[in-house]
Structure 1
């Protein structure tokens, strides 16, 4: 048996998204038979102490900015393959990152659906994505005729900073006081979004009626916020598994189909910080939960509407406005996600997978999968293994 490939994972450890990525990395079938892993905290390792003579990696999965002032810039000089899991300007390493164009599109669509008249982007001061995301928001806001602002926030904020946030971020009070209508705030981190939420409420603004706040990563901070924070959902599991596939190809001398790939977001997890308690919006939230719980049973839009006891036309219109998809599209999306997971993580034949995603007939499942994924289930399984 060949010796296992040694994989170093160099991620942040101060929030939970890296652990979601690791779950994706480890989800690949048979990976443990091929690879051995060690994890190193991004901001605590130094060039001279990270690896030992006894343990040198065959490949590295990292989250590094690739800027000249990056303390982990030494990684780029190592003579081993590296795959980066964040977007960078320089593209020094092969990478798979979130598609920030789709992040901004999702945020703008959501703010438009809840009738925000102004947008504030709460960016990370000095962050490598600050200019990119600012430009994307500014361009889209100009096209829609929406007043736009950008303010830079420190990387690290915690709950105690809410009391002094206007001194930490000069200009924040002015933006809020001069807003001529409902303002939507997008934060690149849920924790920052939670601090902004606490500050806004202390200043006497109503969330979400006057200020709607949207975070990113769908983390614990989003769920524990009061009101709960709506959040952009990234494809962490698929991003992690794709990164591992890319790295293994590099280690074994294979070509990459795409050196710097991006992955679109899943959409917005709608919560109280942007929709409040409006009856129709709450029904949308209930419907999304029902779809995720029962898509594998073959649930239909008619069944959802009957259970919620709402007007189908009103429900479909509001669902599409808040999620960017129709209820039928949401059902197909969830079923496809479940099908892909079964194909990638099990060796079950299609006759057994089909009923697990709501199809009693194998042929109907194959037609559905090819239409939605662009390839047959068998081809998908082969391509991703």
Structure 2
């Protein structure tokens, strides 16, 4: 019988991101009977727990939040994998969500929706926010677009950093509200994470700014509870956090076997954008495209045809298709299928409806055809997609 491996999991218990990492580690451990995991059930990891100094630990997976914590952990002389992403434990491998891929997803989404004004709302001075901000600016500037980045006064920025570290996440500062009020409208905003996205939504509501017609927001982390509590509900980029947890566990296991794993930053691409109400809008400047898009959004899942849409907006099919291709880079029929696919994804994620019922809710009379369509577009059958989402 192999010797047990005692693994300290120094990942905070709060937040969807950290819970997902823990889930990935747990999934890996289920296949490795010699792993005994000791979690750290606190909201924040700021110093080395006393029990870790006294106990026998073979390896550590953790959020290494400060250089001092990194030094304390390194002094234990055991293999470490850092899943916080900042790199505060220089001799250890680091895992993080790829900021370039996050920015690319958001940029492509907003450009395809027809936006011409863009902004980034983050926490200046926080490493993951700065990385995502820089990537978002690069990607949009490559398309000839300027990004309005939230840059509060230095004193306010220091307060923001303190608030973030203390996890007073639902507060927002007056400087954020002032920035939002001055932005050109309509505008597409990438928030550095879901907490910031929720703060932006709250500030817009307090200011009387219409959402999503004037301000459209995408967050990052896809913390399902937080996103669904927002009004409007928050569209978010889903990182592969369970994959990060599994990769971290596999790295640590190889290090415990004596393998040399390079102490470099490993970046994992996010999974996809989970669309909710905060981006439920088309911003094309053409009035026919706007009118048709509203009809599609309201009735695509209720059996309306392309010809019926053309009648309602008093336009020929060829003209409307050309306008959609010009402004949205896709024809009318493809936009209808996109709306129906997103509806199917949401129902598979958020409900226990049978596949046949999901098909009907998306406007398909045949469950068989819906399954073929869904597999072609999403890369997995509806049943497999639901199972994969439930494991994340």
Deviates more, 1:132-141 or 1:202-211: 132-141
CA distance in 2, matches of 1:223, 1:43: 24
Describe the shift of the 1:334–1:34 C-alpha distance in structure 2 as closer, same or farther (beyond 3 A).
farther
Query: Matches of 2:43 and 2:232 in 1, distance apart?
Result: 32
Distance 1:234 1:336, change over 3 A: same
Distance 1:202 1:45, change over 3 A: closer
Alpha-carbon shift at residue 260 of structure 1 (Å)? 3.6
Superposition deviation, residue 250 in structure 1: 0.6
Look up the match of 1:133: 132
Q: Deviations over 1:283-315 (max 9, x none)?
A: 343132467689x9899x999663499xx9xxx
Matched, 1:203 2:207: yes
Q: 2:364 is paired with a residue of what secondary structure? A: helix
Post-superposition offset of 1:157: 4.1
Q: Does 1:223 align with 2:281?
A: no
Q: 3-state SS of the aligned residue for 2:243? A: helix
Counterpart secondary structure, 2:84: coil
Q: CA deviation at 1:149?
A: 1.8
Write the distance in 1 (CA, Å) between the matches of 2:115 and 2:3.
57
Q: What is the correspondence of 1:140-179 to structure 2 with a 5 Å cutoff?
A: 140-151=139-150, 154=160, 155=164, 156-159=167-170, 161-162=171-172, 165-167=173-175, 169=176, 172-179=177-184
1 CA distance for matches of 2:87 and 2:53?
A: 31
Residue 269 (structure 1) shift:
0.4
Give the distance between the partners of 1:264 and 1:112, measured in 2 at CA: 20
2-side partners of 1:117 and 1:297: how far apart? 38
Is 1:287 paired with 2:344?
A: yes
Match of 2:314 in 1: none
- CA distance in structure 1 between the aligned counterparts of 2:30 and 2:121, rounded to whole angstroms: 42
CA RMSD of aligned residues (A): 3.9
Q: Deviations over 1:50-91 (max 9, x none)?
A: 4243x221000012245x4x5554223331100111333575
Distance 1:118 1:176, change over 3 A: farther
Deviation at 1:134, TM superposition (A): 2.2
2:75 maps to what in 1?
A: 77
Return closer, same or farther for 1:121/1:297 CA change in 2, 3 Å cut-off: same
- Residues 48 and 69 of structure 2 are in contact (CA less than 8 Å); yes or no, is this contact kept in structure 1? no
Under a length normalisation based on structure 1, what TM-score does the superposition of the two structures give? 0.70
Assess if the C-alpha contact under 8 Å between 1:290 and 1:304 holds in 2: no
**Structure 2 contact 169–195 (Cα < 8 Å) conserved:** yes
> Secondary structure at 1:185's aligned position in 2?
strand
Cα distance, 1:334 vs. partner?
Answer: 7.0
Which segments of 5 or more consecutive residues in structure 2 lack a partner in the other structure? 152-156, 282-293, 301-337
* Contact 1:59/1:247, CA 8 A, preserved across alignment: yes
Please say if 1:19 is aligned against 2:19.
yes
Check the 8 A contact 2:375/2:381 in 1, yes or no: no
Q: Which runs of 5+ in 1 are unaligned?
A: 317-325, 345-385
Q: How does 1:365-384 map to 2 (within 5 A)?
A: none
Corresponding residue for residue 373 of structure 1:
none
Q: Give the alignment partner of residue 254 of structure 1, picking from 254, 259, 264.
A: 259
Contact kept, 8 Å, 2:255 with 2:261, in 1: the verdict is yes
CA distance in 2, matches of 1:223, 1:338: 18
Whole-angstrom distance in 2 between the partners of 1:327 and 1:103: 24
Work out the CA distance in 1 between the residues paired with 2:71 and 2:43. 11
